């Protein structure tokens, strides 16, 4: 039977091995938006337009997309109706998901053409 001191020593020893692993997971840098969606801006495909229609997104008469470097099935979409107010959307084709509208992402400028 383990004594209380021995039990505490074993628990402390186990924690000393696990702590660097947990810290390493948290220390991994997240992709910045510019690295996750590196560009260039592309024309919106019909597949993306169809998914927007399914989700009843009508505020994107003028739009451009960037493909994700992490998930090639995901796109960042910047869109506008009046060329003054822009919104961002994230589109996942395989999952048929559309998230937005959101603010423009830091480090990713508006497209030159759309």
pLDDT digits (tens, 9 = 90+) for 37-90: 999 999 999 999 999 999 999 888 899 999 999 999 999 999 999 989 999 999
| Chain length of the chain | 114
Integer-rounded Cα Rg, in Å, for the chain is 22
Query: For the whole model, what pTM was predicted?
Result: 0.72
**CA 91 to chain CA mean position, Å:** 10
> What are the structural domain ranges in the chain?
33-102
Please name the residues in contact with 5: beta carbons below 8 A apart, sequence gap of 6 or more.
Answer: none
User: Using CA atoms, how far apart are residues 25 and 91, in angstroms rounded to an integer?
Assistant: 27
- Least Cα distance to 77 among 102, 96, 95 occurs for 102
pLDDT for residue 3: 63
């Amino acid at each position: 039977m383990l004594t209380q001191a021995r039990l505490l020593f074993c628990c402390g020893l186990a924690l000393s091995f696990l702590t660097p692993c947990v810290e390493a997971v948290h220390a991994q840098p997240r992709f910045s938006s510019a690295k996750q969606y590196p560009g260039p801006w592309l024309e919106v495909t019909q597949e993306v337009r169809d998914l927007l229609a399914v989700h009843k997104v009508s505020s994107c008469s003028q739009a451009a997309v960037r493909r994700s470097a992490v998930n090639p099935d995901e796109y960042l979409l910047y869109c506008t109706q009046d060329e003054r107010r822009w919104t961002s959307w994230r589109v996942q084709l395989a999952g048929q998901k559309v998230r937005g509208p959101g603010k423009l992402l830091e480090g990713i400028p508006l497209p030159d053409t759309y």
